[in-house]
Amino acid sequence: MVTTTPLEARLLELAGSVPDPELPMVTLAELGVVRGVRMLAAGRVEVELTPTYTGCPAIETMAADIETVLHDHGIAEIEVRTVLSPPWSTDAITDEGRRKLAESGISPPRPTGPAHGPVPLALAIRCPHCGSTDTALLSRFSSTACKALRRCETCREPFDHFKEL
């Protein structure tokens, strides 16, 4: 069992407070991409970061922003390591992150259920503007690869939907 020190917990909180570069309304902690922080030596830290998908163009910006925040809090040497296993899934997004996405007009991903468990019932995608489930897919890709473009058939407003992984 790995024990987290109070300093590591504080550094994890700081690293997690960084806004996502593509979805600045949510933090990296709310997105669920910061996996851990470990003190390697005095003034030397390793941060584990998992991208939302392999090849995510924002991973370098995330790493640089984490380094900046930790440098600003007195850590001299920071190594941000990309961790691909276990892979990130949209179930890692916190309830607060989902709420913030919806408040920003982005339909949050539906829960996918436990790993290797039963396939969850596919629920309709809800419009973040009016709440209707009468929505249509306009494009499988939107402003980023992790979002699809949809339109609400009730209020006729277009919106992004964060795709489930």
pLDDT category of residue 8 using cuts at 50, 70 and 90: very high
Q: Do residues 15 and 69 both lie within one domain? A: yes
Residue 131 belongs to domain spanning: 104-162
Query: Which of residues 48, 82, 116 is at a domain's end?
Result: 82
pLDDT reading at 121 higher than 60: no
Whole-angstrom distance, CA of residue 122 vs CA of residue 88: 20
Domain harbouring 52, CATH code: 3.30.300.130
User: What whole-number percentage of the chain has pLDDT above 90?
Assistant: 77
Q: Do residues 72 and 15 both lie within one domain? A: yes
Q: Do residues 60 and 124 both lie within one domain? A: no
Query: Which of residues 26, 50, 82 is at a domain's end?
Result: 82
Q: In b/e form, how buried is each residue of 25-56, taking b as 16+ CB within 10 angstroms?
A: bbbbbbbbbbbbbbeeeeeebebbbbbbeeeb
Domain contains 96: no
Query: Cβ(15)–Cβ(70) under 8 Å?
Result: yes
Query: Cβ(20)–Cβ(65) under 8 Å?
Result: no
Whole-angstrom distance, CA of residue 26 vs CA of residue 6: 24
Q: Do residues 109 and 76 both lie within one domain? A: no
Q: Do residues 64 and 33 both lie within one domain? A: yes
Domain contains 154: yes
Query: Which of residues 50, 82, 114 is at a domain's end?
Result: 82
Domain contains 71: yes
- What is the number of structural domains in the chain? 2
Q: Do residues 10 and 78 both lie within one domain? A: yes
Reported for 146-155, long-range contacts at CB under 8 A and 24+ positions apart, including other chains, are 146/22, 146/52, 146/53, 146/56, 147/106, 150/107, 150/125, 152/127, 154/127, 154/130, 155/127, 155/129, 155/130
pLDDT reading at 96 higher than 90: yes
pTM of the model: 0.84
Smallest Cα–Cα separation from 106: which of 56, 31, 51, 11? 31
Domain contains 93: no
Average pLDDT for residues 112-118, to the nearest whole number? Answer: 58
pLDDT reading at 81 higher than 60: yes
Name the residue with higher pLDDT: 112 or 102. 102
Domain contains 99: no
pLDDT in tens, 122-145: 578 999 999 999 999 999 988 888
Q: Do residues 64 and 31 both lie within one domain? A: yes
Smallest Cα–Cα separation from 13: which of 86, 62, 54, 70? 70
Q: Do residues 47 and 109 both lie within one domain? A: no
